[in-house]
Amino acid sequence: KRRVAGVYYNRLQKGMLLQADPTLVFASRDWQSRSLAKYKSLDSPYNTYKYPGLPPGPISMASITSIDAVLNLEKHRYLFFCARGDESGLHNFSKTFQGHLKNIEIYKRNLRKRGLL
């Protein structure tokens, strides 16, 4: 959680869009889809693919560990992360968009192996 918090902090510091899938899920109310591409142009202040900065309010109740992660975020230069898709619950992190695209391919490959894509 501390590493993920660091990614969002880095993106905010650079003026980048957060592009956070959880806020897009909240905005779309589509809790089932694996692909959210069709919602990236959705006009909602919670769409962090479209609107800069933090959304106008929370999308859920933050856990103590999540709040602690933000208050004690990991300092690094990562700007992207993607789930591994291998049932580990872990993510791969990258400093560049090109590295992020490679991590997306790893995610898709792992989903295909599991028959989910």
The SS3 of residue 112 is: helix
Residue tagged 């905005």 (tokens): 27
Q: How many domains, the chain? A: 1
Range(s) of the domain holding residue 41 = 2-113
**Residue 35: pLDDT over 80:** no
| Mean pLDDT score, 74-83 | 98
Q: Cα–Cα distance between 81 and 46 in angstroms, integer?
A: 19
| Mean pLDDT score, 88-92 | 97
Do 27 and 47 meet the contact criterion of CB atoms below 8 Å apart? Answer: yes
Q: What per-residue confidence (pLDDT) applies to 32?
A: 84
Residue tagged 């300092």 (tokens): 75
Model confidence band, residue 33 (pLDDT cutoffs 50, 70, 90)? confident
More confident residue, 34 or 77: 77
pTM of the model: 0.90
Q: Cα–Cα distance between 87 and 85 in angstroms, integer?
A: 6
Q: Cα–Cα distance between 93 and 100 in angstroms, integer?
A: 7
